[in-house]
Chains A and B, each alone.
Chain A
Amino acid sequence: MSDYLFMLAGGTLAGLLGSILGLGGGILIIPMLTLVFGVPMREAIGASLVCVIATSSGAASLYVRRRLCDVRLGMTLELATTLGAVVGGVIAGLLNAQTLSILFSVLLIYTAWTMLRKREVVESRGASSSGGTSYKVAHLPLGMGASFFAGNVSGLLGVGGGIVKVPVMYTMMGVPLKTALATSNFMIGVTASAGAFVYFSRGEVHPLVAGSTMLGAFLGATLGSRLLPKIRAEYLKKAFVLVLIYLSLEMLFKGLGLRLAF
């Protein structure tokens, strides 16, 4: 039982850090469950997907109430993300745990890279990120394709997929950054839900593992959204990039059947 209490605490930390750093909790929950608690990769992905729903639902409710997200655009792109998530979930059932670990390590490196780049992009595009700005959505077919891929990554690796959707909406579809972030968060719950049902029906969502981690992630994300306005996350982000690189190496070595020396 003590393992599940630690999972609850780990989920709280992942939810808290995820909401402060603008990441879904999944990017931390999967390494925690597999590397620290020895949970099999597919069970960790299943647990992560339900955590992603828990962390996104509270924030999405807030974004909808504050009129920050574009519900109609989100609903349209969800057609592609849900299909992608189902396909991703089915593919994950066909791949072995080692391959999934290696793919996840690539995703962690990509996340670290986007965290480093995010500041540059925001600075170079100036302050055109206001949520209330009127805009015209461009390149919808491209957005649908990217959303299918984002859903695929979500169902395959147990993350929200915002890391793919937000840059595409912002840089290619002409959606303001705040709206893109809020709309992506709004979509994440539905996308993760489509993937989670695939894992749930296969028995890969273990009640105690997923339940304790999800409750922690929900509490952490709720707390994080309250703390967010009071925290300067800049230094935390830089430190977090190093953590992501380390976790990526750990997951890569785990996938290759090796152990990291430090």
Chain B
Amino acid sequence: MRDKKEKTLSYVSTILLIGSFCAAGLLVLGLGLSFFQTQPQADITASPGFSLSKSIGSLLRGEPTAVINLGILVMMLTPFLRVVVAAFSFLLEKDLTYASVAFGVMLILLFTMLPTLF
């Protein structure tokens, strides 16, 4: 049981670290690309609501703002991923109380992120 708990903590810690470094890498790439971009920058107040499904084309074309948005999204998804990992780890530990709590947090986050994914 103690081993399982230690593993849960180790998974949660690793997810947070990998997620934040991946996001930082994407930001470096996107900001680097936008540094060499000759087109005028978008007005700060005029950005449309972000949607991942609509941004896939821009990402494939390597547009800097799409890469930066992906970096921001990865950073925002990192805490969500650690909730998912914790929820399933609690389930494996047969700790149903905390598994339900973690699934509850997961549902609230899923509800807030749906508009940005589609």
Contacts and interface: CB of A to CB of B under 8 A. Distances in A.
Interface of A: 1, 4, 8, 39-40, 43, 50, 53-54, 57-58, 60-62, 64-65, 67, 71-72, 75-76, 78-79, 82-83, 86, 189-190, 192-194, 196-198, 200-212, 214-215, 218-219
A71 B20 contact: no
Given A65-B10, A79-B105, A43 B45 contact: yes
11 contacts: A40-B44, A43-B45, A61-B17, A62-B13, A82-B108, A193-B78, A200-B76, A200-B116, A207-B47, A210-B72, A218-B20
B53 interface: no
Given A39-B44, A58-B17, A78-B105, A215 B12 contact: no
A204 to B, nearest CB: 8
Interface residues of B, number: 53
A60 B16 contact: yes
Contact of B27 (A61, A189, A200, A214): A214
A208 B34 contact: yes
A219 B28 CA distance: 11
B80 to A, nearest CB: 6
The 6 A-B residue pairs whose C-beta atoms are closest, nearest first, are A189-B79, A61-B16, A201-B115, A211-B68, A197-B112, A203-B49
B31 A57 contact: no
B13 A64 contact: yes
A15 B91 CA distance: 36
Nearest to B10: A65
Residue among A76, A203, A207, A218 facing the most chain B CB atoms (10 A cut-off): A207
Interface string B1-41: 00000001110111011011001100110110011000001
A50 B24 CA distance: 12
Given A71-B12, A207-B69, A57 B83 contact: no
Nearest to B115: A201
A61 B10 CA distance: 9
Interface string B83-118: 100100000000000100110110011011101100
Contacts of A1: 34-35, 41
Nearest to B45: A40
Contact of B47 (A53, A78, A203): A203
Nearest to A192: B79
Contacts of B13: 61-62, 64-65
Given A86-B111, A192-B79, A197-B115, 7 more contacts: A40-B44, A71-B86, A78-B105, A79-B101, A193-B79, A201-B115, A204-B47
A188 B73 CA distance: 17
A247 B98 CA distance: 41
B16 A201 contact: no
Given A79-B101, A82-B105, A201-B116, A53 B76 contact: yes
B79 A208 contact: no
A118 B41 CA distance: 44
Contacts of A201: 49-50, 112, 115-116
A58 B14 CA distance: 10
